[in-house]
Structure 1
Amino acid sequence: MPVKLQSGGGDDHEEDARIEIVPLIDIMFFLLASFMMVSLSMSQIHRVNLKLPASTSSVADNKTPPIHIAIDAHGVITWDTKIVTPSEITERLRALPPTEDTKVLIGADQDSRHQAVLSVIDAAKAAGVEKVSFETKHQEP
């Protein structure tokens, strides 16, 4: 039922009040876009802070995102910021759906021990993962 407005003057001209929806829709889309941009800028990648060794022969691989396992300078092994042991790595890799594209990316600190790196490689191989690679910084020749 339309709202009828009476003018304060002497004429009996009646007008129907209208609410324009188009500007309201424009404002809602603007707010939606603003909130989406703010929420995207607030997301952060949580990773272990490592000093990666440099390599001139490194190649970027941007196909399937690998499983990232980090080893810090003290030999602490983390998977997605959760501290794990080599046996837990094997169990978690076996629990994943088996695919040929399963990749493990090892990010080892340049001061980490060789034994810690080998234990992660052995854990991945024990789970049946054949694609294991190392994360490095690209160094210009």
Structure 2
Amino acid sequence: MHGTPLPDLDAAPEKRARIEIIPLIDVIFFLLATFVLFTLSLDRTGVIPLILPKVEVTPPPVFVPPVEPVMIQVSDQRNYYWDQEQISFELVRNRLADYATKAEAKVMLTSDDRANYGDTIRLLDAVRAAGITEVSIETRFRPTGR
């Protein structure tokens, strides 16, 4: 018989090395379970009794719109204007005394570009004598009575 030789049936097949994953998974789960149980046993915290303060709820403050200041103007003819109404100096003093009783009394003083400095100071003194502390002096040009 001539031809190819027959394979030897008694010879062992060639074995390759391989890594078994199933035992590694078991080891990883064991380590994970051990770690979790160990950290849970460390969680022993002491309790301190506390009495927390009570919060008192107050209603929000009521919005009060700001009070517009009263505009008092002095002209070069010694005329006085209370919010564009021409009045005498004595009436200005009386109105200032009444106006000073309001909680947020504010006054803005203004004058013509030709008004006497002394008349403006006289008006400022009357405002202070009435007890009004919030006084503004306008520094821009304003026509008489406006």
Larger strand proportion, structure 1 or 2?
A: 1
Considering only CA atoms, is the larger Rg found in Structure 1 or Structure 2? Answer: 2
Larger RCO (CA within 8 A; separation ≥ 6) = 1
